[in-house]
Amino acid sequence: MASHISVVVSQGHSHNPAKRRLEEEIVACLLTEPAVEVNVMPHLYDLKADGSAMLCLQGISRDLIVLAWLYPRATRWILNRNGIGGQEGISLLKENEDAEDDSDANSPEDSSNPEQDAELSPARVIESLEIPNRKIYCLNLAAATDADTFIREIQRIAHETKVKTVETIGWLNGTPKAEHVQRMAQPLPGNVDHAIPVVSKPSERVGSPIEEKTERRWYPVIDMSRCTNCMECIDFCLFGVYGVDQQDTILVEQPDNCRKGCPACSRVCPENAIIFPTHKSPAIAGSADVAASLKIDLSKLFGAPEDDGVDVAVRERDEQLLLAGRDVVGDSVGIARNQIATPTAEPDDLDRLIDQLDALDL
Ligand code: SF4
Ligand code: SF4
């Protein structure tokens, strides 16, 4: 029987020997895993849409695990923009070893009435996407420093997906058998080799890197599970990066028109849907933790203008316009009026309280 899950290791930019060694150890271990097919390729974000590595990825139709030096959210939506889709596989690895476990923290998305929130929430682009019925698991190589952690997680996922495949075949052939039901109820073993032996042909278990000459790239990636197709990014960007498809859905049409190092439009997206995967700030690079909590903004709670991020974006865009030899535009172009702070005509209670505190001259 052939291997049933593909694993792709996307190499990082860094020359840090510890990082290179981690990649190599993971690949070496995976080559002894009978259940998986392994491919190694250059950094996912840098791949050209028509390059050999992306074509290889596009040719994989089974369940897929991608290990990259990127937040999983960034990996998922880079794949999506290249036509590589699937249901989101849930990994048990933390996003990043430095990330704090904030599962108990209050998120602005926590709600006492989630049903009401769902009704009020605008439609997301993901709801109109056709998502293939297979799973894609995105693992951040920064989530651990040892290969064993990744191998165990890959084994767990391989087992999870294999059990589901076996059970589905069983069910398709008739009613579920008692042994299927019993096996699904069992805890996952640490090593799946012996639980469900799967032997792949040597030719399917490639370990050498896919050759493709790449250069560092810089462009926005849209998280379609957050995007509402509001078009604020297309109005804001003056470099022709964004466009729309035949269904009038936003897309990153000319990614390489984006100005290197500038993340301006990510600051004006009202849904925090725009990711620059290699930006140093986790909020912009696609950390799911930060994306969920970005709306906690103390300055807004205390009545400060709501356009702090927009101010920065306007300044960053003006800098890029100047560097490109063009005239600056400030906030006169492409900013939704509701993003520009205007003085409230009538002071509210909070304004009056702040005025009173100011008057105390503490
Ligand atoms: S601004 Fe954000 S939410 Fe609006 S279309 Fe662009 S990516 Fe989507
Ligand atoms: S960062 Fe600047 S140039 Fe790049 S897409 Fe956003 S607005 Fe356009």
Full pLDDT tens readout for the chain, 362 residues = 456 899 999 999 999 999 999 999 999 999 988 888 999 999 999 999 999 999 999 999 999 999 999 999 999 999 999 999 999 999 999 776 544 333 333 333 444 565 666 667 889 999 999 999 999 999 999 999 999 999 999 999 998 887 665 444 444 445 545 554 454 444 434 333 333 333 334 344 455 678 888 999 999 999 999 999 999 999 999 999 999 999 999 999 999 999 999 999 999 999 999 999 999 999 999 998 765 555 444 344 444 444 578 999 999 999 999 999 999 999 999 998 666 655 555 666 666 666 666 566 55
C-beta 269 within 6 A of ligand 2: no
Gap between the Cα atoms of 29 and 148, Å rounded:
9
C-beta 237 within 6 A of ligand 2: yes
How far, in Å, is the centroid of ligand 1 from the Cα of 309? 15
Nearest CA to ligand 1 atom 6: 233
Question: Which ligand is nearest the CA of 274, by number?
Answer: 1
How far, in Å, is the centroid of ligand 2 from the Cα of 207? 37
C-beta 275 within 6 A of ligand 1: no
How far, in Å, is the centroid of ligand 2 from the Cα of 41? 27
C-beta 313 within 6 A of ligand 1: no
Instruction: Show Cβ contacts of residue 327 under 8 Å, excluding neighbours closer than 6 positions.
Output: 321
How far, in Å, is the centroid of ligand 2 from the Cα of 8? 29
Helix (H) or strand (E) holding 275: strand 274-275
How far, in Å, is the centroid of ligand 1 from the Cα of 274? 7
Chain-centroid distance of CA 227 in Å reads: 13
Q: Label residue 128 exposed, middle or buried (CB < 10 Å: 0-12, 13-18, 19+).
A: exposed
Probe target for ligand 2 pocket from 239, 267, 269, with the most ligand atoms within 8 Å of CB: 239
